[in-house]
Structure formats: structure tokens, C-alpha cells
Amino acid sequence: METLIDDVFSYINNAIRFAVEDPAATLLVFMFLALVILTPGRKAAEKALMALVICYIYLILTSNVLARGVFNERKYSFELFSSGRREMVENVLLFTPLGMLLCAIDLKTRPIRPWKNEKAYKFVRFLISMAFALLFTCIIEGLQLYLLVGVFTVDDILCNATGALLGYGFIFIIVLLVRRFGGKNGNMRKVQSNERQ
């Protein structure tokens, strides 16, 4: 457990060090944050969640790619389950918060077609979130291989995608449980809205 906590602090330290050493990248992140915050038609909670996603992506990108030392050669492994158990668990846990944040963002406030079928909306939202997480982890692994700053492994892609899936599923189940067992207030609102119709 101590090594996992040490790794979390190492990620944060690398991101802070890179932010100080390279203010251009930090400025770009702040511009994205300002764009999210100033965009009209979004709820404040959604803006905050999107800002957290941007900050989390920046943290992962700086720690895994930008703040690492350069190797002398390209390192890669296409063998499944070649990483150690601890490294695989860390990679799963690394992307779990990203999956949680992606699940919490509501797509209905975005200017896309209106969703009449709630189940279809939830499924499309799940697919978009998982595709984003998978694309992001592939980009990280590709950059590590191209820039010679890490080891490209299929295990990392698999574990990161699994972590995003677990995080998404965790929040999704909590939301379902809160809606189902949320108490009398939630049920009373439904009854009142049905009576008005």
C-alpha cells in the first residue's frame, strides 16, 4: 500500500515539476479550462467535472510521457500479462478515476440530438466514455514508444481500459442505487410530476 501511495505522490510531483519547467503546456491546459468554464449552456457541476477530466489527463500525460527521461532505444512488449502484478494493479487504479469522472459527466446538456430513449442514451454515453479512455491510453503508449520515454506494453492498454471500465461501472451502480433507494423525496417528486401530467 505504501508503494501505491508513493507512486501517487510521484505522479503529482512530476506534474508540478513539469508545469514549472514548461509553462507553455500549463498555459494550454489553463486555456482549455477557461474554454470549458466560459462555455454557455452547461451546468456548473458539468463544467467542474470537465475541468477535473482535463486536469487528470494533464496529470497522467505529464507523469507518463512528458516528465520522463529518454531511453536509448525503443522498448515494447506485445506479450500479454508480462508485467508484474503490482504494476498491473497500479495501471488499473490509474485510470479508475478517469472512468468515474467520465460516467459523472452528463451528455444531455451538449448540443447533440435530443435523447428520447434513456437506455439508448446511457449505452451511447458508455461507448463514448470507453472509446475516449481507450484512445487516451493508446495515445500515451504510442507517445512513450515514439518519444523513447517509456515501454509500450499491451498490458498497460488492457489494464488502463479495465480501470476506466471499473470506475465507470462503480459510479453507474452508485447512481442506480441512489435513484432506487434514494428515499421518499425522490419518489415524491416522481408522484408529483405524474399528477401534474
Over residues 13-39, the pLDDT tens digits come to 777 777 777 677 677 777 777 877 777
Using only C-alpha atoms, what is the Rg of the chain? 20
Can you read off the three cell numbers belonging to residue 72? 536509448
Can you read off the three cell numbers belonging to residue 49? 467535472
pTM for this predicted structure: 0.76
Question: Can you give the pLDDT at residue 77?
Answer: 80
All residues at 6 or more sequence positions from 47 whose CB lies less than 8 Å from its CB, including other chains:
36, 37, 39
Under 8 Å between Cβ of 25 and 18: yes
Q: Could you state, in order of their start, the residue ranges of all structural domains in the chain?
A: 2-196
